[in-house]
């Protein structure tokens, strides 16, 4: 069990801070960052991260954000320090208990505890510690629009340059055989597609690329779609098969495609409100909870 979890860093708004620099790992997947709030969903994410770490010889860094209230930080420096240390020690004990899992055996596990819940800091921590992937648990069960709008997960996704893998249910065997890349055929998606290919190779999985053609004002005829595909592949520099899936909504179409093609992991490019996320933001979340449990990998454009 991960009984030897080290606290790498503690960040508060007063002058004390401890930090240990990680030793560089030359494997493809060096480190995986897992933000935890000690919920069952963050435990699901930690278990998936452990499976990926074991397969690729990676380490895991746990990030817990305390979020101390202003009332605590408004006290005198001495009181502030004393109370903050109390919460720090409490968090350390909770992390020790939280990481007493058999699936963490033989994995290097370190921890970072921060005060403020500034979600852009998740990406900063990931980059500072050479993390190749962020794995997060999510409570969302009402489709992709719930994944991207109004949640802590969404805040991390929108600010993270590091790929984010969203986990919504337990996976005792996170075995990815088929991945699907949802593409709107904009050339801006090409860097994300390249990353998706790399992840597919990492998991030894087959990658399907598809475009959802919706009815109504956004509907495109076959010749127009063919032109967009040709332009996309021309800019990509290689011919790749891109499926066209017709549906009345992007969100439902994405999930239906994944179900019909037995997809294990959905990959979505996002850039704030651009990319696929742009079409999902503000849409009415449909009741697709039976599909929403699918793991989602988001890649910043």
On whether the CB atoms of residues 135 and 45 are closer than 8 A, the answer is yes
Could you tell me how many helices (H) and strands (E) the chain has, helices first? Answer: 11, 12
- Ranges of each domain in the chain: 1-137, 169-301
pTM of the full structure: 0.83
- Provide the H-helix boundaries in 180-239: 190-202, 222-236
pLDDT of residue 13: 32
On whether the CB atoms of residues 35 and 65 are closer than 8 A, the answer is yes
The whole-chain average pLDDT of the chain stands at 80
- Reported confidence tier of residue 289, pLDDT bands at 50, 70, 90: very low
Tens-digit pLDDT profile for residues 158-183: 888 999 999 989 999 999 999 999 99
User: Shortest CA distance to 49 belongs to which of 125, 136, 126?
Assistant: 136
Percent of the chain with pLDDT over 70: 75
Q: How far is CA 116 from CA 63, 67, 88, 121, 256, in A?
A: 12, 5, 13, 9, 39
Tens-digit pLDDT profile for residues 60-72: 999 998 865 444 4
- Quickly tell me which residue has 């910043």 as its tokens: 300
Domains 1-137 and 169-301 share a fold: yes
Q: Has residue 273 got a pLDDT over 60?
A: no
Q: How far is CA 46 from CA 59, 177, 272, in A?
A: 12, 20, 26
Residue 270 exposure: Cα atoms within 13 Å on the Cβ side: 31
pLDDT of residue 66: 80
- More confidently predicted of 287 and 178: 178
Q: How far apart are CA 259 and CA 210, in angstroms?
A: 13
Q: How far apart are CA 145 and CA 201, in angstroms?
A: 28
Q: Under CATH, to which class is 169-301 assigned?
A: alpha beta
- More confidently predicted of 298 and 178: 178
1-137 belongs to CATH 3.40.366.10: no
């Amino acid at each position: 069990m991960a009984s030897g979890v080290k606290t790498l860093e503690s960040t508060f708004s007063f002058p004390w801070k401890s930090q240990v620099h990680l030793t560089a790992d030359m494997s493809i997947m060096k480190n995986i960052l897992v933000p935890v709030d000690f919920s069952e969903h963050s435990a699901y994410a930690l278990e998936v991260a452990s499976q990926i770490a074991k397969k690729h010889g990676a380490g895991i860094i746990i990030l817990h954000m305390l979020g101390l209230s202003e009332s605590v930080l408004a006290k005198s420096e001495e009181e502030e320090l004393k109370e903050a240390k109390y919460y720090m020690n409490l968090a350390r004990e909770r992390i020790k208990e939280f990481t007493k899992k058999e699936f963490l055996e033989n994995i290097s596990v370190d921890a970072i505890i921060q005060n403020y819940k500034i979600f852009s800091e998740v990406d900063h921590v990931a980059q500072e510690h050479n993390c190749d992937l962020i794995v997060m648990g999510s409570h969302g069960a009402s489709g992709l629009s719930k994944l991207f709008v109004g949640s802590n997960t969404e805040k991390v996704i929108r600010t993270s340059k590091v790929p984010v893998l969203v986990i919504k249910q337990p996976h005792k065997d996170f075995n990815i055989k088929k991945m699907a890349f949802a593409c709107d055929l904009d050339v801006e998606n090409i860097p994300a597609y390249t990353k998706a290919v790399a992840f597919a190779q990492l998991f030894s999985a087959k990658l399907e690329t598809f475009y959802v053609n919706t009815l109504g004002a956004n509907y495109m005829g076959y010749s127009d779609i063919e032109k967009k595909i040709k332009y996309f592949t021309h800019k990509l520099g290689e011919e790749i098969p891109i499926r066209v899936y017709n549906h009345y909504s992007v969100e439902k179409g994405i999930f239906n495609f994944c179900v019909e093609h037995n997809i294990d992991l959905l990959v979505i490019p996002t850039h704030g409100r651009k990319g696929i996320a742009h079409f999902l933001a503000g849409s009415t979340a449909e009741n697709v909870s039976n599909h929403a449990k699918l793991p989602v990998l988001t890649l910043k454009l």
